[in-house]
Structure 1
Amino acid sequence: MKFLSVSLIASALAIGARADIDWNLHKFQAPGSSDSRGPCPGLNTLANHGFLPRNGKNVTAQLILDAINDGFNFRPINVNVAAAKVAVLTTDDPNFVTLEETGLYGSIEHDASLSRQDFHQGDGIHFNETIFETLANSNPGVDYYNITSAVAVLTERLNIQQAANPAIINTEKEFIFRARESSFYLATMGNVITGEAPKEFVNILFREQRLPLEEGWRPSKIPIDSSNFFTLAGKVQDLYGKVWEPSGSVKCPWIRDQPEGPVFFF
């Protein structure tokens, strides 16, 4: 029955393609050697489809919000507005940011990622298949990810990095960022109400940084907004919070507001 439910979800999403988007103008193009890409598979995907500048440069907070809305049917709710504004703080340029610059450690980039190395261990910008295998191998026996599997992956990734990275930062800020990022892939690649997302769609988003249009994905028929996303994110956070504990030498949530600092604790 679970397999059937995911098939129905995929069909519903396909029917719900946004009529106001000309997908011929948003075909996938892999980035060139001079294009900028960052640690966020969602933003990279939006650039690869032309919702953000395809070169990944001259990006503004408003462009990010518009791209998420147009590409994922995800409204500019406060969590997206805050993330977009923080992303622009990762550069000294007063107006624009490149996608690579959004990888500034301590801004929106954090430890125990689902698909990137920790800052103190190497490349925190580019996709890492070995790290992603924790997610890719989760929820065996079915063709979807869900809230339970997402939390299991978050927990396993944190356990791995706590053992591997003595400098790990794992405060309440990182807890919230990780939980909401997992909620994001469940909502945008699957169903924001049920919290189930076909594995194929999620894997393509991470591995290829591509919208799986050819495989049948379409943006959510239901706009993703504060009326449904926070319900999903709350379920992820509640379940994750039952097993999560802060760790590392940094105890207070913090954020870096520009490349050279300072760091603000809150």
Structure 2
Amino acid sequence: MARFLLLHGAWHGGWCWSAVAERLSRAGHSVSAPDLPGLGADAGNLTPDIGLETHLAFALTELDRLGGAILCGHSYGGMPARGLVDRRPDLIEGLMLIEALWPGDGEAAFDLVPKAFQDLFRGRAEAEGEGWRMPPPDVAQFAIADAALAADIAARLTDHPLKTFEDPLRLSGPARLPGPRSFVIAADRDPQPYAATAAALSQQGWTIKHHPGGHEMMMTQPGLVAEALLEVAADSMSDTERKTDAQRA
């Protein structure tokens, strides 16, 4: 049995993983898809002081509770995911990102998105979010082909704390990455905002997977995402078996 920790992106909640989690659970695996503080079902507790470290500390507690997991981050969820890999690499059994941010030391989310998005999000926070809340964006930018699904997602998004995008992530040293790791990128977004990230990670030995489904692939293609996660889990198990055999030899 594999354990999975699924981290949602900005404006989302654990609800976005429900179809993926159902498939993984049905296959006999353990799945945690929590709401990050101030988001999802916890949106009523959103405050100006919730920052990246708040989300990272919460995710670390969940990872410790699980005792290790295959880690998956979507979009902004790549920020706390990167922190988990840095602080507890011993508990990361495999890694998958879905169109996610992947910062270097000292980089904030705003350092990794186009300036037009920075200006838009900050401007809307100032005009509509008391200077600290970023209202949800237009879901049209997520390239969701199913209009009904796009409307449902738009209705469920909640404000996101601006501070999480401004806080830099501090890393302790060189990257210590788990063996099996993959980056899933939408083949039907043009322009593709994560193309440079995918190219850089490919150079670092990541497996890059191109699939249709837009930015919300865990909802538009839940079967495909679940299958990709199971592949990471299988690769992780193979790595563990190879290491065990080597130690015995």
Instruction: Please indicate, yes or no, whether the TM-score normalized by the shorter chain is above 0.5.
Output: no
Normalised to the residue count of structure 2, the TM-score between the two structures is 0.29
Normalised to the residue count of structure 1, the TM-score between the two structures is 0.28
Which has more strand, going by share of residues? 2
